[in-house]
């Protein structure tokens, strides 16, 4: 991955895009196709829910959307770990994505913690 943008909307978009690029490199096995579909859904949902959180429909909605984004980040990590273990030839790509989704999860957790205290 390139240098990470500071803007979290852009960063989550790039993560979802990189996941899709990664999936294209995998052999077309039944498990890769199915697990890849799950990763496409969850990786896109991280950014989509973060964008919705920023619509500012109130603190409860903000926290709810942020928590969904974090939940989707955890799910993305699960699918990435599974694909990573089953496709050792593409480990370099999947490991950079695993690092990035863990960073995004930590950022979302920090925002949730800070927002909960307001």
Q: What is the pLDDT of residue 12?
A: 97
**pLDDT beneath 70, residues of the chain:** 1-5
The CA distance from 72 to 41, in Å, is: 9
Q: What is the pLDDT of residue 4?
A: 61
pTM: 0.92
Q: What is the pLDDT of residue 56?
A: 75
Please state which CATH number belongs to domain 8-116.
1.20.1440.60
Q: What is the pLDDT of residue 100?
A: 97
Q: What is the pLDDT of residue 3?
A: 57
Residues in the chain, total = 118
The CA distance from 69 to 92, in Å, is: 25
User: Between vectors from CA 66 to CA 6 and to CA 50, what angle results, nearest 5°?
Assistant: 50
Contact 101, 1 (CB under 8 A): no
């Amino acid at each position: 991955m390139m240098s990470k943008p500071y803007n979290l909307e852009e960063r989550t978009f790039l993560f979802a895009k990189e996941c899709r690029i990664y999936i294209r490199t995998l052999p077309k096995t039944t498990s890769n196709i199915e697990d890849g579909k799950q990763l496409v859904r969850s990786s896109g949902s991280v950014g989509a829910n973060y964008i919705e959180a920023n619509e500012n429909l109130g603190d409860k909605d903000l926290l709810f959307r942020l928590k969904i984004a974090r939940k989707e980040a955890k799910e993305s990590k699960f699918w990435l770990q599974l694909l990573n273990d089953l496709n050792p030839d593409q480990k370099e790509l999947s490991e950079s994505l695993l690092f990035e989704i863990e960073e995004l999860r930590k950022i979302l957790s920090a925002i949730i913690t800070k927002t909960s205290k307001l």
